[in-house]
Amino acid sequence: MSRTKPTVVLTRKLPDPIETRMMELFDVRLNVDDHQFTQDELIAAIAECDVLVPTLRDEISADVLAKAGPRLKLIANFGNGVDHIDVAAAQSQGIVVTNTPDVLTEDTADMTMAMIVAVPRRLVEGAKMIQDDTFEGWTPTHMLGHRLAGKRLGIIGMGRIGTAVARRARGFGMTVHYHNRRRLQPELEAEVEATYWESLDQMLARMDIVTIHCPHTPATFHLLSERRLKLMKPTAYLINMARGELVDEKALIRLLKDGSIAGAGLDVFEHEPAVNPKLRGMKNVVLLPHMGSATIEGRINMGEKVIINIRASADGHALPDRVLPQRL
């Protein structure tokens, strides 16, 4: 990059404090009407900018990157997950990719815990009853759900978010179990009082609630396949706050419909933003519009990380949040 202000293209509108600070520091092209970039717009942007700031809905494939101009040196992703970017192709062209890790842990864990409460306690179903004016008064068997204390929670992916969920679950009196690529250090495992399962299949068959906290990669696509979903108890609940592609959604719908799984809480969907209409019609499912990390504080923290990475790149310093292909 030159020593002049780098040209930065934002593919979506970011929080006002972030855009304002970027305008002070860089030559910024804002997305004022917050529309979704087409592929042609992405290609036009990378042909003329120094830095692209995309979000998870921008598919930046090898074919798109092949049309990048010589100025493009940094893709500063606004988000932690980078499965929408061909990082290997970017690296082969001398383009660095960064992300925004470590800022959404508490927000996502909070919303996960909200889902863990909402699904078995039928909160959304009850709220709809009030909205529809069908509540006829309390009775001993009205809107019965299940308590959390004493239930077994199975966490798939015990990274920062999974560990934060474990701490919250212990506060609700739940027993924590987990499956992870690597076992936690003994002191951390003891802190959250978690039981490690090397076999995901074995864990799934024993849990009352299962929550997913893995990245989407080719290796984790349909991690919860139909076969694995069928291992879950008919009284169990599934929570997915990670990526929709981790779950075979069609199989999940079938199992929810026939009572093989008691219920689900989904903040993400396999073909997002499309939501299968069969899911929308189910009383035992809580659906949210990908808002697990949606706090003002979190979005500003993400933007601050993007700014730090752009400034480091412009100044020729090491980038604190660089993503390498082998980490995916």
Quote the DSSP letter at residue 144.
Answer: -
Length of the chain, in residues: 328
Question: What is the residue type of 30?
Answer: L
Identify whether 198 is a catalytic site residue.
no
Identify whether 189 is a catalytic site residue.
no
> What is the phi/psi pair of residue 190, to 5°?
-70, -35
Per-residue HEC secondary structure of 15-64 comes to CHHHHHHHHHHCEEECCCCCCCCCHHHHHHHHHHCCEEECCCCCCECHHH
Rounded to whole angstroms, what are the CA distances from 272 to 268, 288, 297, 310, 315?
Answer: 7, 12, 24, 29, 37
List 19, 59, 106, 272, catalytic entry: 272
d(CA 314, CA 308): 10
Please check whether residue 31 is in contact with residue 76, taking contact to mean a CB–CB distance below 8 angstroms: no
List 12, 84, 121, 290, catalytic entry: 290
- SS3 (DSSP) at 146: coil
List 243, 245, 249, 299, catalytic entry: 243
d(CA 241, CA 111): 8
- SS3 (DSSP) at 124: helix
Identify whether 152 is a catalytic site residue.
no
Rounded to whole angstroms, what are the CA distances from 20 to 5, 27, 195, 223, 296?
Answer: 15, 11, 47, 41, 15
The catalytic residues are 243, 272, 290
